[in-house]
Structure formats: structure tokens, C-alpha cells
Amino acid sequence: EIVLTQSPGTVSLSPGERATLSCRASQSVSSSFFAWYQQKPGQAPRLLIYGASRRATGIPDRFSGSGSGTDFTLTISRLEPEDFAVYYCQQYGSSPMYSFGQGTKLEIK
């Protein structure tokens, strides 16, 4: 089973700043099988990025994804107040099965 480890666990930033969130896989993951989600309190997760770098429908272009192999990054270029939330990475692997990272909380500084 592939384990996804997200860092940092919590990051404190101000609106307008740039956020860089990381996700490391315990084994190489196909970029096609990698995605990022945003979750706000009391809500279901929302798909942001799929295929490691493709923005989902309706996602602002301040969100971008990059990476390959075992290291993936979600970047938010200029934080808006509504971006403060928990972010999860996800991979699809053999078995077949899905797994998620433990999440990174992006909080207002």
C-alpha cells in the first residue's frame, strides 16, 4: 500500500501570500493517478487538481499542481480568504485502491 505524507501539517499565512503544500508518496505514483482536494468545515471535499497538474472544472487559476514520481506540490499563488481550509492529496494504486494523505491545514496568520 502506498502511503502519502503531507507537509507541513499546519501552515499559517496571510491573504495575498503564496502557499506551497507538499505530498510525498512512499512509492512512485503515476501522475495520472494523483489528485488534490480542498475541504472546509462541515463540507465534503472538493476536487481541485487531477492528473497532478490539471485544474478541475471551475477551479481558479491561482491553484496549480506539479510534481511526479514521489513528490507532488499544490501551489496557491495569492491566497484569498476563502482558500483557508484543509487540503488532501490522493493517489490511486494497485489492488486497486485509493489512499489519501493526512491533510494540511491552511490557516490565517
Q: Which residues bind another protein (CB under 8 A)?
A: 1, 32-33, 35, 37, 43-47, 50-51, 54, 56-57, 88, 90, 92, 95-103
- Residue with Cβ nearer another protein (14 or 44): 44
- What span, in angstroms and rounded, lies between the C-alpha atoms of 60 and 45? 16
- Residue with Cβ nearer another protein (50 or 79): 50
Least spacing, CB of residue 90 vs another protein, in Å: 7
Helix spans in the chain (H): none
- Residue with Cβ nearer another protein (54 or 62): 54
- Residue with Cβ nearer another protein (13 or 47): 47
Handedness of CA 11, 16, 17, 23 (dihedral sign): positive
Least spacing, CB of residue 103 vs another protein, in Å: 5
3-state secondary structure of 23: strand
C-alpha Rg value of the chain to the nearest Å: 13
Least spacing, CB of residue 22 vs another protein, in Å: 16
Residue pair 39/104 in contact (Cβ under 8 Å)? The answer is: no
